[in-house]
Amino acid sequence: RQIAILPGDYIGPEIMGAGLKILAAAAKITGFDYETTTYPFGGSAIDATGEPLPASTLAGAQAADAILLAAIGGPKWDNAPQRPEQGLLAIRKALHLFANIRPTQVNPALVERSPLKTEIARDTDFVIVRELTSGIYFGEPRFLHDDEALDTMRYQRSEIERIIKAGFELAMQRRKHVTIVDKANVLATSKLWRKIANEIAPQYPAVTMDFEYVDAAAMKIVTHPTSFDVIVTENLFGDILSDEAATVTGSLGTIPSESRGVSGPSLYEPIHGSAPDIAGKGIADPLSMIHSITLMLRNSFQETATADLIEQAATATLHAGIMTPDLGGTATTDSMTDAIITEIQ
Amino acid sequence: RQIAILPGDYIGPEIMGAGLKILAAAAKITGFDYETTTYPFGGSAIDATGEPLPASTLAGAQAADAILLAAIGGPKWDNAPQRPEQGLLAIRKALHLFANIRPTQVNPALVERSPLKTEIARDTDFVIVRELTSGIYFGEPRFLHDDEALDTMRYQRSEIERIIKAGFELAMQRRKHVTIVDKANVLATSKLWRKIANEIAPQYPAVTMDFEYVDAAAMKIVTHPTSFDVIVTENLFGDILSDEAATVTGSLGTIPSESRGVSGPSLYEPIHGSAPDIAGKGIADPLSMIHSITLMLRNSFQETATADLIEQAATATLHAGIMTPDLGGTATTDSMTDAIITEIQ
Ligand SMILES: CC(C)[C@H](C(=O)O)[C@@H](O)C(=O)O
Ligand SMILES: CC(C)[C@H](C(=O)O)[C@@H](O)C(=O)O
């Protein structure tokens, strides 16, 4: 198993290093066999090669069985001719990573860190399935003139069909409830989403489907987060709602996501950014990277034993009160990593 | 002073009736002189005339000094050839109501109703200035075919300039802090917003301006709502964020908004919908309508005395524990209205 490693910028390399040390320790025990190759990506790739997604990085990622990305971007490249984020959009498009799967699960041990009242946040467990390679992120035409600018939200039927099916498939493994989030009272693209969802739903008679306008969904995520199971939505709405949803957990520094393609490798990454403010201080939370790795082990390699071993060790470490400052602890990235490795061994 | 009254659908006429009774009682005491004319609008206008915004309603609204709208829409018109919401979009466009001003203020007496932890919600006091007549709501081209659909987010420089100036002007009367919310790492329109904001900011040297991506803003509204003063943003982002922000107050049923034009009348309305589930039960919260009326008195008629009288009476009534079920009370719309009128007298 070939894993492409994209450490990225600022805290990216710090948490990637921690995650890979833990993976190595666990794999040694379970006998999970893998190889890694590291590639420049994002801001550091701009510095090294002038481009956020060098051709060699894309080729390496394409040839791998899975891709691990830490985090990219930062103020350093705000005025660069190319921006790190363009690399992210480019790799999504090039690898056809059309489905971004973002779990929002409140960890009972961390529920009091949620900005929501405990009784509202408790038991929250839903997944946002965000369309990732179309919509207003990629639609043409687009232009920026001095007196006018334009973006295009465009969706093909086939793009909508595959993401809605991915949502229903996921719901079949969960509580069988799909919520399609759109703005069908205003947008033509949303009307097409609704039409196609209504066509697909009968193929999954066990699944309950409902529709929610994006503004209403933005409310409900705060007021009734437990009312969702699987949310399926278009690219821009998914961007906004999945970040909003992540705050409900109170532990942004612990959440992974998967971006899944039609075929080919999936990309796993923390949902948070590169956190320039804490970079170099050695206090970044490694849990989001660790969970990205266990998600990869389960979904790309069916390597349950190694994933379980890592997760149990991470949970035990948390229960022992060893955690980084974002979770209220005093551990460093290194001391937490070492504690998890000791637990694994 | 001519006020155009658009009661709308479901609970709309119930809360409009309550609000107008209270206005009449207060005006009698302060001597505020006004006339009202009622027009069909939304679903009830579709039923009566086939159109959500009949020409006579538009003409009456246009000729008035201010417009009061309660709430429109509902499942009844889901499959109607015209939808109530089209009336809303049409009146915004026809009257050039380009600035939607949405206050998010946590009432200390209601802070424990916020879904957020009290220490996070407390002291929240910001305003979202949402662009209301352009962007993806109105951009052309748009089409809906069976295999493809398209919407256009388009902004003219002049449209961006006037809304950003409105935001800075408002900030000058407040804590002098403007946050421009956009998605400038992806959208061409957002890049133009950022450019124009940077051009306008020097005209307001007393105001601090910062930028926030819409996904980050969606997080911060939940995690740090007190960090905002005035948020200025485009139409769709404003729709989503202002509804999200409203939940922070824990009292959706009490919040008004103003939609302001270039010249001509402003439109005042509750931020919530027509609540078909509680229509006819007599338990709708009249406070959002009452606050829409006091906002109108202040901003369209400089009628501070009447506005103060109504607000003091409403606050006293709340403090006496008289409130509708949405706020945890047992009052009906009528009994609460009567209590406020008694207080006024
Ligand atoms: C960095 C940015 C372009 C990106 C997005 O908007 O998709 C990010 O916010 C994300 O959610 O992965
Ligand atoms: C009803 C709908 C078209 C409208 C909007 O999206 O503008 C509403 O959500 C609002 O915020 O006033």
What is the 3 state secondary structure string of A235-297?
HHHHHHHHHHHHHHCCCHHHCEEEEECCCCCEEEEECCCCCCCCCCCCCCCCHHHHHHHHHHH
Q: Active-site residue among A47, A123, A210, A215?
A: A215
Note down pLDDT in tens along chain B; length 345 residues: 999 999 999 999 999 999 999 999 999 999 999 999 999 999 999 999 999 999 999 999 999 999 999 999 998 998 888 899 999 999 999 999 999 999 999 999 899 999 999 999 999 999 999 999 999 999 999 999 999 999 999 999 999 999 999 999 999 999 999 999 999 999 999 999 999 999 999 999 999 999 999 999 999 999 999 999 999 999 999 999 999 999 999 999 999 999 999 999 999 999 999 999 999 999 999 999 999 999 999 999 999 999 999 999 999 999 999 999 999 999 999 999 999 999 999
My answer on whether A184 and A155 are in the same domain is yes
* CATH number of the domain to which A241 belongs: 3.40.718.10
Q: Does the model's pTM come out above 0.95?
A: yes
Chain A touched by B218 (CB under 8 Å)? yes
Looking at the structure, do residues B105 and B87 belong to the same domain, yes or no? Answer: no
Count of the separate structural domains present in chain B: 2
Is position A259 within any domain? Answer: no
Q: Among A219, A251, A283, identify where a domain stops.
A: A251
Stretch (H or E) spanning A343: helix A333-344
Indicate whether B259 belongs to any domain: no
Q: In this structure, are residues A46 and A78 in contact, taking their beta carbons and an 8 Å threshold? A: no
- Tell me the pLDDT tens digit for each residue of B318-327: 999 999 999 9
Asked whether residue A324 is domain-assigned, the answer is: yes
Question: Do residue A187 and residue A78 come from a single domain?
Answer: no
Cβ within 8 Å, pair B150-A150? no
Instruction: Number of A to B CB contacts under 8 A, please give it.
Output: 160
Instruction: Tell me whether residue B255 is in a domain.
Output: no
Please give the Cα distance from B297 to A333 (Å, whole number). Answer: 57
- Is residue B273, in this structure, part of any structural domain at all? yes
Residues B190-213 pLDDT 10s: 999 999 999 999 999 999 999 999
| Residues A45 and A60: beta-carbon distance below 8 Å | no
Write down the pLDDT at residue B253: 93
Please tell me the number of the ligand nearest to residue A238's CA.
1
d(C-alpha A174, C-alpha A208), whole Å = 12
Chain center to CA of A249 = 14
Q: Let me know whether A91 and A101 are in one domain.
A: no
Q: Identify how many contiguous H helices and E strands chain A contains and give both numbers.
A: 12, 12
Q: Is residue A107 domain-shared with residue A245, that is, in the same domain?
A: yes
Q: Do A117 and A246 fall into the same domain?
A: yes
| Same domain (yes/no): B216, B230 | yes
Q: Domain containing B208: what range?
A: 99-250
Number of H helices, E strands in chain B: 12, 12
Clarify whether residues A87 and A182 are in a common domain. no
CA distance A18 to A31: 20
Instruction: Identify the pLDDT of residue A290.
Output: 98
Q: Which of A251, A277, A299 is at the close of a domain?
A: A251
Last residue of a domain, one of A224, A251, A278: A251
Residue A258 lies in a domain: no
Give ligand 1 pocket residues (Cβ under 6 A): A 85, 88, 239; B 185-186, 215
Residue B135 sits in the same domain as residue B276: no
pLDDT (0 to 100) of residue B257: 97
Separation CA A198–CA A209 (nearest Å): 9
DSSP sequence for B255-295: -EEEEE-SSS-EEEEESS---TTTTTTT----HHHHHHHHH
Low-confidence ranges of chain A (pLDDT < 70): none
Mutation to probe ligand 1, out of B181, B183, B186 (largest number of atoms < 8 A from CB): B186
Residue B290 within any structural domain of the chain: yes
Q: B83 — contact with chain A (CB < 8 Å)? A: yes
Q: Is A241 on the interface with B (CB under 8 A)?
A: yes
Q: Is A78 helix (H, G, I), strand (E, B) or coil?
A: coil
Q: Please tell me whether residues B246 and B140 are part of one structural domain.
A: yes
In a domain, A257, yes or no: no
SS3 for A5?
A: strand
pLDDT at A187: 97
A245, A268: one domain: no
Question: What residues of chain A lie within 8 A of the CB of B185, using their CB?
Answer: 83, 85
Say which residue the tokens 């133009």 belong to.
B192
Please tell me whether residues B67 and B1 are part of one structural domain: yes
| pLDDT score of A248 | 97
Q: Which ligand is nearest to the CA of A240?
A: 1
Nearest CA to ligand 1 atom 7: A239
What pLDDT is attached to residue B78? 83
B78 touches chain A (CB under 8 A): no
| Among candidate residues A289, A309, A288, A307, the one with its CA nearest the CA of residue A299 | A307
Which residue shows structure tokens 């003219």?
B156
